[in-house]
Amino acid sequence: MATKGNKIPRTPVREQDPAIRATNFEEVCLGYDEQEAMLEATRCLRCPRPRCVQACPVGINIPGFVGKLADGDIKGAADIIGLDSSLPSVCGRVCPQETQCEGSCVLGIKNEPLAIGKLERFTGDWKIAHPEQFETAPATPNGKRVAIVGSGPAGLACASDLARLGYDVTIFEALHKAGGVLVYGIPEFRLPKERIVAKEVETVQKLGVKIETDVVIGRTMTVDQLLDDEGFDAVFIGSGAGLPRFMGIPGENLNGVFSANEMLTRANLMHAWEEEYDTPIYQGKRMVIVGGGNVAMDAVRTAKRLGADAVIVYRRSEAELPARVEEVHHAKQEGIDFRMLTNPVRILGDESGKVCGIECVKMELGEPDASGRRSPVEVPGSNFTMDCDVVIMALGTSPNPLIKDTTEGLEVTRRGCLVADEEGATTRKGVFAGGDAVTGAATVILAMGAGRKSAAAIHEYLSEK
Amino acid sequence: MYPILTKKLLAPHIYELVVEAPRIARSAQPGQFVIVRTDAKGERIPLTICDYDRERGTVTLVIQEVGYSSRKICAMEPGEKMADVAGPLGRPSDLLELSDEELRAKKILFVAGGVGTAPVYPQVKWLKEHGVEADVIIGAKTASMFTYVEEMRKVGRVHLCTDDGSEGFHGMVTGLISKLVEEDGREFDHCVIIGPMIMMKFGSLTTKKYGIPTIVSLNALMVDGTGMCGACRVTVDGKTRFTCVEGPEFDGHLVDYDEAMRRQAMYRDNPKNNPETHKCSCHGN
Ligand SMILES: Cc1cc2nc3c(=O)[nH]c(=O)nc-3n(C[C@H](O)[C@H](O)[C@H](O)COP(=O)(O)OP(=O)(O)OC[C@H]3O[C@@H](n4cnc5c(N)ncnc54)[C@H](O)[C@@H]3O)c2cc1C
Ligand code: FES
């Protein structure tokens, strides 16, 4: 079995043609069909001490579910994933597999690693298409109520685990739609909203979880009110890290400069690219996106789809791009212009205050800094300007201070992240937190994992109470 | 969904809507705003809370028809429901932090214009409830454009002015501020100006001349209203601030109004902002 697995090349996955997809918002990767998935699954070596499992932030039994797939038992595969992950069709699409499971796959030493992400996605999508096979008897209500702040992956995961344990759970979401970054940030072409995200949210609702949108905790109600007036026994905060950073360089408030969050929210949550929706989006001919993470890749590829010439400006080199490898690869195929080792110093405006260019300086990599990454330093005198009419800042985000500012006894770190222990317990009794709100901007799988850990901790706390 | 209970035409193109939103009514404070979305395809539009009734669970909104989305809101009728009303957002008015004694020691002037009159009302009313009668200048182009004058007279000392002299002082609010201070010898130690950006700019220049600390309420463009996008950036005292979470009230003498006005006009040429070019499936137009 093992030797056979080694010889089969990685099953290629079907994708939309780059030239066509750069003009539409449909999903880029089409995923495996059943035959392809089964073929790919047979490549797994079933290592006795699987390194992929150790590298998975939530420890999914990868050889276990892949084995079921190889046997044609898709339901069995989904059940195994379900033990550790509640969002397989999302994580299969957006996890940085190359630094997690696939990055540790033994097959990858000599050949290409097993396509674990694509197999997870296949299994998750099958689960969505066959909801009747996953119906569970509703849990017996235990009479206790938990409030969840935020409907991103952390909140959704925490809510569904608690609902399964019999808790009466309500999610409060500030925006008009549930899903967090999955609906407002990550674009349709990478994560379909109706077909996937809405279905995952429905699954959570089917467990009896109530979702109240348009409720901003800290304003509409405070955490204290949830506990004291609204009768909740515990609160989980999964409010994410939505506050965008800007560079603080001259020209940043010119017309035509946006945070990636604004551009992506307009495009994804508000459907600004669709004619029949009312929200406008600022259309540029040449749009420069500053940054190199997933957010930057999503913004630049959205810019391209809006019909602009789209450029990435990043201060380190390609090797340091923090984005998923697949996204960088897709972006290149779509004709995105990558300017590495380049950093903006000033945004230029015309007499009416609209962006007309950006002045950058060339960078080179110096000594490794505290994080071990070689830090970029300016090359003196290498300034140059580029014409453009839109500049998008994708420099990272930090947690919104609203909840901390309005909740007694909730401590935060210097970077504004909520202080919480391994289980998600904050410095305030009965209040738990997880996901980006605690770690700062991280990943979907970590947020989901944190939500589940907190659900267990809340269960323990309320069982003792 | 948030049902519209009543609708009233206050002045040409200015409507008052009373909307059922119990959670918001319960926690709303003067100075705060909501974000509304008419329907699933609508924009998220910030509107100042002009009044609230905690018992009935309603908030009062005043909207002027200007662009596409404000017309759409104004076209809604009682019985119809707004898809979303989120809030209350922004910081409550600074005055709310003062004790009743501190308040009574203050000589407060409000300056309101256009749809800005409505959001001034809850603040003046709140002061009245705390034993303070404030002076309120209300400015309009012409007498038929006045809104909220009767309501305001019940809670404050009202001074009217019109550009064309059809009612009250003949001139702009800036002229009336000067008249009160210079001719009538009135003294003020706190001023709140709410109205069109241009009025807040020149109003603040005038109060600066008399050394009256001034607060303005900025109506920047917004998307989420929770601090997540930065669409609402303004420069105050040389620093970038997010209007939706750090405002909407700022020190009127430190705001960069020219930048704020320029940013407000960001989408003015966008086809979606033009009722002629952006046709929408609802309301049959
Ligand atoms: C553009 C973009 C692309 C990304 N790409 C990837 C990727 O490819 N792979 C990956 O693993 N990760 C990616 N990430 C990161 C990932 O999306 C986040 O780490 C993850 O969503 C965090 O989940 P969360 O539940 O903690 O918070 P979020 O998903 O941010 O959800 C928080 C929710 O809480 C709500 N909220 C906030 N404050 C309040 C309040 N006061 N009251 C009520 N509700 C509130 C917010 O509106 C939001 O809906 C990306 C992020 C962005 C922005
Ligand atoms: S409106 Fe988005 S940050 Fe203020």
**Looking at residues A151-174, what average pLDDT do you find?**
97
B229 and A352: CB-CB below 8 Å?
no
A270 and B44: CB-CB below 8 Å?
yes
B240 and A277: CB-CB below 8 Å?
no
DSSP tag of A426: B
CATH number at residue A87: 1.10.1060.10
A257 has a pLDDT exceeding 70: yes
Would you tell me how many other CB atoms lie within 10 Å of the CB of residue A285?
Answer: 11
Tell me the shortest Cα–Cα distance from A295 to chain B, in angstroms: 13
Q: For A257, which residue in chain B has the nearest alpha carbon?
A: B231
Q: How confident is the model at residue B277 (pLDDT cuts 50, 70, 90)?
A: low
- Which two three-digit tokens encode residue A221? 């109600």
Q: What pLDDT score was predicted for residue A375?
A: 87
Same-domain pairing of A326 and A356: yes
Atom nearest to A327 CA in ligand 1: 8
∠ CA(A138), CA(A139), CA(A145), 5° rounding? 115
B283 has a pLDDT exceeding 60: no
Cα–Cα distance measured from residue A227 to residue A384, given in angstroms and rounded to the nearest whole number: 56
Query: Which of the ligands is closest to the CA of residue B228?
Result: 2
Atom nearest to A445 CA in ligand 1: 11
**Looking at residues A359-384, what average pLDDT do you find?**
90
B272 and A271: CB-CB below 8 Å?
no
B284 has a pLDDT exceeding 60: no
Among A371, A395, A419, the domain-final residue is A395
B141 has a pLDDT exceeding 70: yes
Q: Which residues of B touch A258 (CB under 8 A)?
A: 230-231
Same-domain pairing of A92 and A180: no
Same-domain pairing of A36 and A153: no
Q: What pLDDT score was predicted for residue A367?
A: 84
∠ CA(B42), CA(B46), CA(B51), 5° rounding? 120
pLDDT digits (tens, 9 = 90+) for A316-358: 999 999 999 999 999 999 999 999 999 999 999 999 999 999 9
Residues framing ligand 2 (Cβ under 6 A) = B 222-225, 227-232, 242, 244
Which of B68, B245, B262 has its CB closest to that of A255? B262
Same-domain pairing of A53 and A102: yes
A266 has a chain B CB within 8 A of its CB = yes
Q: Which residues of B touch A278 (CB under 8 A)?
A: 41-43, 68-69, 72, 272, 278, 280
Q: What pLDDT score was predicted for residue B278?
A: 57
**Looking at residues B37-57, what average pLDDT do you find?**
94
Whether residue A36 is contained in a domain is answered as yes
**Looking at residues A230-241, what average pLDDT do you find?**
97
B56 has a pLDDT exceeding 70: yes
A265 and B88: CB-CB below 8 Å?
no
Q: Which domain holds residue A157?
A: 145-242+398-464
Query: Residue of the nearest CA to atom 2 in ligand 2?
Result: B229
Whether residue A83 is contained in a domain is answered as yes
Q: What pLDDT score was predicted for residue B280?
A: 44
Domain count, chain A: 3
Note the pTM of the prediction, 2 decimals.
0.94
Whether residue A2 is contained in a domain is answered as no
Same-domain pairing of A33 and A149: no
Same-domain pairing of A389 and A408: no
Find out whether the beta carbon of A50 lies less than 6 Å from any atom of ligand 1: no
B256 has a pLDDT exceeding 80: yes
Mutate to test the interface with A, among B226, B268, B278, B283 (most CBs of A within 10 A): B226
Chain B segment 200-259 residues within 8 A of A by beta carbon are 223-224, 226-231, 233-235, 240, 245, 259
3-state secondary structure of B34: strand
Which of A184, A262, A402 has its CB closest to that of B231? A262
Whether residue A4 is contained in a domain is answered as no
Whether residue A8 is contained in a domain is answered as no
- A408 residue type, one letter: E
- Selection from B34, B98, B17 nearest residue B248 by Cα: B34
Same-domain pairing of A236 and A252: no
Query: Residue of the nearest CA to atom 14 in ligand 1?
Result: A443
Same-domain pairing of A250 and A203: no
Tell how far the Cα of A179 is from the centroid of ligand 1, in angstroms. 8
Number of H helices, E strands in chain B: 9, 16
Atom nearest to A298 CA in ligand 1: 1
**Looking at residues A297-317, what average pLDDT do you find?**
96
- Which two three-digit tokens encode residue A198? 């809405």
B274 has a pLDDT exceeding 80: no
Q: What pLDDT score was predicted for residue A5?
A: 47
Q: What pLDDT score was predicted for residue A153?
A: 97
Among A354, A373, A395, the domain-final residue is A395
- Which two three-digit tokens encode residue A421? 């222990």
Tell me the shortest Cα–Cα distance from A398 to chain B, in angstroms: 10
Cα–Cα distance measured from residue A447 to residue A450, given in angstroms and rounded to the nearest whole number: 5
Which of A252, A258, A265 has its CB closest to that of B224? A265
**Strand A210-212, strand A168-172: pairing:** parallel
Which CB contacts under 8 angstroms, 24+ apart, belong to B76-80? B76/B4, B76/B7, B76/B17, B76/B38, B77/B4, B77/B7, B78/B4, B78/B5, B78/B6, B78/B7, B79/B3, B79/B4, B80/B3, B80/B4
A174 and B68: CB-CB below 8 Å?
no
Which of B43, B235, B263 has its CB closest to that of A278? B43
Whether residue A3 is contained in a domain is answered as no
Q: What pLDDT score was predicted for residue B275?
A: 55
Q: What's the mean per-residue pLDDT of chain A?
A: 94
Whether residue A372 is contained in a domain is answered as yes
Whether residue A139 is contained in a domain is answered as no
What domains sit in chain B, N to C, each tagged with a CATH number? 2-89 (2.40.30.10), 94-266 (3.40.50.80)
Atom nearest to A295 CA in ligand 1: 1
Same-domain pairing of A169 and A237: yes
Q: What pLDDT score was predicted for residue A430?
A: 96
Query: Residue of the nearest CA to atom 3 in ligand 2?
Result: B227
Same-domain pairing of A292 and A199: no
Cα–Cα distance measured from residue B17 to residue A464, given in angstroms and rounded to the nearest whole number: 49
Query: Which of the ligands is closest to the CA of residue B232?
Result: 2
Query: Which of the ligands is closest to the CA of residue B46?
Result: 2
Chain A segment 4-33 residues within 8 A of B by beta carbon are none
Query: Which of the ligands is closest to the CA of residue A246?
Result: 2
pLDDT digits (tens, 9 = 90+) for A394-425: 999 999 999 999 999 999 999 999 999 999 99
CATH number at residue A204: 3.50.50.60
Tell how far the Cα of A178 is from the centroid of ligand 1, in angstroms. 11
Tell me the shortest Cα–Cα distance from A10 to chain B, in angstroms: 40
Same-domain pairing of A294 and A353: yes
Convert A310-335 to b/e letters by CB count within 10 Å (16 or more is b).
Answer: bbbbbbbeeebbbbbebbbebbeebe
**Looking at residues A219-229, what average pLDDT do you find?**
97
Same-domain pairing of A62 and A202: no
